Amino acid sequence: MIELKSPAQIEQMKPAGRFVASVITALGEAAGVGVNLLELDALAHDMIREAGAESCYIDYHPSFGAMPFGKVLCTSVNDAVLHGLPHSYRLRDGDLLSVDFAASVDGWVADSALSVVVGTARQDDLKIIDTTQRALAAGIEAAQAGNRLGDVSAAIAEVSRSAGYRINTQFGGHGVGRTMHGDPHVPNDGKAGRGLKLQPGLVIAIEPWLMAGTDQIYTDKDGWTLRSKDGSRGAHSEHTIAVTADGPLILTARD
């Protein structure tokens, strides 16, 4: 069921958005050669504790997960493209890291993701990161009251395909509110003018993610991490936004 938020409730969601943005920023700055993925998870855990927030991930156990997630952060490296389960791995020069983080503050959730290159960057990695960021911006721009959900999906797909990437539609954006995942599902591909009419008060996470050489994934033996089927690298960008009468409001905007 889709629940529209009142202007007052959107105001109440802003602290969660600001907190998630601060954590994502800190993680991007902390990621460096030699840093262990478990250290990044510990940093996010410490920030949750200090803020009096709650993790959306640690007890999360959907049908596609082998067990409760057990960590507070997704860390996906290179061919790991989504839902990367933090483990003891020290980042190496040239690694492509995606971090995805969601938390609840005062009962309201926000969700965001960022991809960065650790150390020396490959041009192909910079291109795919830039494409996900531009696709995210296009999807947000299309999230106008009176438009359709398909307009958001089509805008994401246009940027992604124009850059030469194929699109996996098994996972995408979603409604956000009191819980991390709700209706509606926001695919990264779709037809303009189709689907749900966007109304003020709709809060969604928009999250384009792409793989360099394929649109096929498989689940790692850890039961969570999704990897590209051909071993190519992936990138992921995400913001939580509210549809308002004045245009889309990015709740997880980073400084």
Beta-ladder partners of 205: 174, 240
Q: What angle do CA 234, 238, 244 make, to 5 degrees?
A: 155
Instruction: Tell whether 220 is in a known binding site.
Output: no
Instruction: Tell whether 207 is in a known binding site.
Output: yes
Distance in angstroms (rounded) separating the CA atoms of residues 50 and 64: 31
Check if the beta carbon of residue 138 is closer than 8 Å to that of residue 158: yes
Instruction: Tell whether 100 is in a known binding site.
Output: yes
Instruction: Tell whether 45 is in a known binding site.
Output: no
Select from 245, 80, 104 the least CA-distant residue to 181: 104
Instruction: Tell whether 185 is in a known binding site.
Output: no
Q: What angle do CA 86, 60, 177 make, to 5 degrees?
A: 115
Residue labelled with tokens 């993701």: 113
Instruction: Tell whether 174 is in a known binding site.
Output: yes
Instruction: Tell whether 181 is in a known binding site.
Output: yes
- Using DSSP's 3-state secondary structure scheme, residue 219 falls into strand
Phi and psi at residue 10, to the nearest 5°: -65, -40
Binding site feature residues: 83, 100, 111, 174, 181, 207, 238
Question: Which residue positions form the known binding site for a divalent metal cation?
Answer: 100, 111, 174, 207, 238
Binding-site residues from annotation for substrate: 83, 181
